[in-house]
Amino acid sequence: MMKMHGLGNGPYWIIYYAYFLILSTVYLVLFVIFGALIGLNFFKTNDYSIQFVFFFSFINLQIVLSFLAATFFSKVNTAQAIAYLYIFGSGLMAGSLIRNFLEGGKFPRNWITVLEIIPAFSLYRGLYELSQYAIRASETGNPGMRWSDLNDRTNGMRDVLIIIIVEWLVLLPVAYYFDYAASVGNSSGLLSIIKRLLRKNPTWRRIAVNEVADNDVHVEMEKLDIIKERETVDQVLQQRNSGYAVVCDDLKKVYHGKDGNPDKYAVRGLSLALPYGECLGILGPNGAGKSSFISMMIGFSKPTSGNAFVQDFSIHTDMENVYNSMGVCPQNDMLWEMLTGREHLQFYGRLKSLSGSALDLAVEESLRSVNLLLGGAADKQVRKYSGGMKRRLSVAISLIGDAKVVYMDEPSTGLDPASRKSLWTAVKQAKQDRAIILTTHSMEEAEVLCDRLCIMVDGRLQCIGRPKELIARYGGYYVLTMTTSSEFEREVEDLALKLSQNARKVYHLSGTQKYELSKQEVRIADVFMAVENLKRRVEVQAWGLADTTMEDVFVKVATGAQSSDELS
């Protein structure tokens, strides 16, 4: 979350390194103190500074190794399983072999030093030396290991410390490079080359994806607005400084099946161009590919093929630059419970390079825009916030600073009507000099905030255009709603068919029916006259005639696309 709001990779890496180092150091100190308090000679007799240097150096090495290994795993469970196997296996092997090699006298000393390059062996060699000095100290009454004892040729602690410290210093920049390469998405770097070599049949996978993509192009009958959008993308990609904030070029995302399961095609060739000053709404049923698209754009996942450019920076190779110009309001609020709303905005404002009076002004304006100044809410801890207040704070975080591209995932979820309208006003003001991509299930929100809307079904764009254009294109009908008792349902159906021969029933439940009446076949005056005549014979509890809404368009496009997929 912090990286998405502009935190550089270096500070981000240092923060996490320092966090794990402090945590491990506290554990180390408590470990040694507890051992000394209960009277263990291992801790009491040996010099505490030697113990600290040994353990401190080793935990630094372990942190670096963990960071290095983490870049090669995409799933936490897999990384944990392999880490447990490595720690248990290498520890068991080192614990048994080190003692046998040292006390047996037959294994060459130089080869023991080579084995100590493996961290587990260096750890157990150091523990072995400390324990031997502790045993001799308890038997003879002499002190345990002192710094002068490191000059003893039979004492392996000096070699162990040198190996651990050198490994740490060498692997530290290597781990940082791999982590940086993974975060910015450098496809030509050493990390990407190693990952490609470790994959099974990468060429076959790429061919399979391309073949399916090509088949989609031939099978799918694309609509004119989708074709026009792709032509716009092609024109923009040939220009520089085109005035477009976001350009997506044939983005595809495939989740490869495992254990015999088929591949899941989440996004199928999405192309769109979003200029500055525009809010684009993405609508679609669950599983349509909206979240997969957003995940690719904010760097959570890599596209299977295709590319996207945010302010001319590629999401494949320039994610760090993309992060510097991006704001995100995630679906789930990612906030610190112990910080206040003001402190959140101050923190994220500083990540956007704001400081001094400019920061204070931006924080005040952000709090005011989402109604968090009333009643001292800005200075209350977030754990005391309601769900709606947390949602408003998340929106304010996404808008603070000079983010040129903002992604909002259902921003008004959980808000009361008054707060929702206030939030909409803030978003409309904020989009003047930036581009906003918004996903929502609220058709009202989509019509109020979005300059253009697109509907996704099964990973494909089904239509794109201004709300009024979509309503005019897909909504050439009125919706007649009428509620009667069950015994008069037939009369209502006859009325609808009399008004329009092509009337289509779209809803029926407990005496309430909805019919679509073609505008070309129906006059509004005729509808009112027919209903008045029906009322003389039938008890009509409620009725209404409405023009097509965005919700009607969404349902029609989504169901139509799903039906086409089933037929194909």
DSSP 132-194: HHHHHHHHH------GGGGG-TT-THHHHHHHHHHHHHHHHHHHHHHHHHHHHT-TTSHHHHH
Residues 231 and 349 in one domain: yes
pLDDT tens string for the chain (568 positions)? 666 666 667 777 888 899 999 999 999 999 999 999 998 889 999 999 999 999 999 999 999 988 888 888 767 777 778 888 888 888 888 877 877 777 776 778 788 888 888 888 898 888 988 998 999 888 888 888 999 999 888 888 999 999 999 999 999 999 888 877 766 555 445 545 454 444 444 333 333 444 444 444 433 456 888 999 999 999 888 876 667 899 999 999 998 877 778 888 899 999 999 999 999 999 988 888 898 999 899 888 889 999 999 988 888 888 888 888 888 888 888 899 999 999 999 998 888 888 899 999 999 988 988 888 888 889 999 999 988 889 889 999 988 887 889 999 888 887 888 888 888 888 888 888 889 999 988 888 999 999 999 999 989 999 999 998 888 888 788 889 999 998 899 999 999 999 998 898 988 988 899 998 988 888 999 999 999 999 998 899 999 998 888 888 888 888 877 666 554 5
Residues 454 and 537 in one domain: no
pLDDT of residue 281: 93
Domains identified in the chain, total number: 3
Q: At what angle do helices 9-37 and 157-184 cross, to 10 degrees?
A: 150
- The residue written with tokens 């353990």 in the block is 55
Report whether 492 contacts 482 (CB < 8 A).
yes
Q: Within 10 A of 131 (CB to CB), how many other CB atoms are there?
A: 16
Q: Within 10 A of 18 (CB to CB), how many other CB atoms are there?
A: 11
In a domain, 554, yes or no: no
Q: Could you tell me which residues are beta bridge partners of residue 482?
A: 513, 543
Which residues lie closer than 8 Å to 559 by C-beta, 6 or more apart?
none
In a domain, 181, yes or no: yes
Residues 503 and 374 in one domain: no
State which of 410, 438, 469 marks the end of a domain. Answer: 469
Bridge-based pairing of strands 326-329 and 405-409 is parallel
Residues 464 and 481 in one domain: no
Residues 289 and 169 in one domain: no
pLDDT of residue 207: 34
- List Cα–Cα distances, 145 to 80, 99, 123, 126, 155, in angstroms: 36, 18, 16, 11, 10
Residues 439 and 527 in one domain: no
In a domain, 208, yes or no: no
User: Rounded distance, CA 452 to CA 470, Å?
Assistant: 9
pTM: 0.71
- List Cα–Cα distances, 99 to 50, 102, 124, in angstroms: 21, 5, 9
Strand order in the sheet with 326-329: 326-329, 405-409, 435-439, 279-283, 452-457, 460-465
Helix, strand, or coil here: 373?
Answer: coil
pLDDT of residue 205: 34
Identify the CA nearest to 272 among candidates 237, 300, 321, 317: 237
State which of 435, 469, 503 marks the end of a domain. Answer: 469
pLDDT of residue 5: 64
Residues 454 and 508 in one domain: no
Residues 61 and 108 in one domain: yes
Q: What is the DSSP code string of 304-319?
A: SEEEEEETTEETTT-H
Q: At what angle do helices 48-70 and 9-37 cross, to 10 degrees?
A: 140
Identify the CA nearest to 118 among candidates 100, 99, 94, 96: 94
pLDDT of residue 29: 93
Residues 242 and 121 in one domain: no
In a domain, 561, yes or no: no
- List Cα–Cα distances, 142 to 101, 133, 394, in angstroms: 27, 9, 63
Q: Please name the helix (run of DSSP H) or strand (run of DSSP E) that holds residue 451, with its range, or none.
A: none
496: containing domain? 477-547
Length of the chain: 568
pLDDT of residue 497: 92
Residues 424 and 399 in one domain: yes
Residues 526 and 438 in one domain: no
Which residue type occupies 550? M
Give Rg (Cα) of the chain: 33
Report whether 454 contacts 511 (CB < 8 A).
no
Q: Please name the helix (run of DSSP H) or strand (run of DSSP E) that holds residue 260, with its range, or none.
A: none
State which of 421, 436, 469 marks the end of a domain. Answer: 469
| CATH (domain of 363) | 3.40.50.300
User: Rounded distance, CA 59 to CA 82, Å?
Assistant: 19
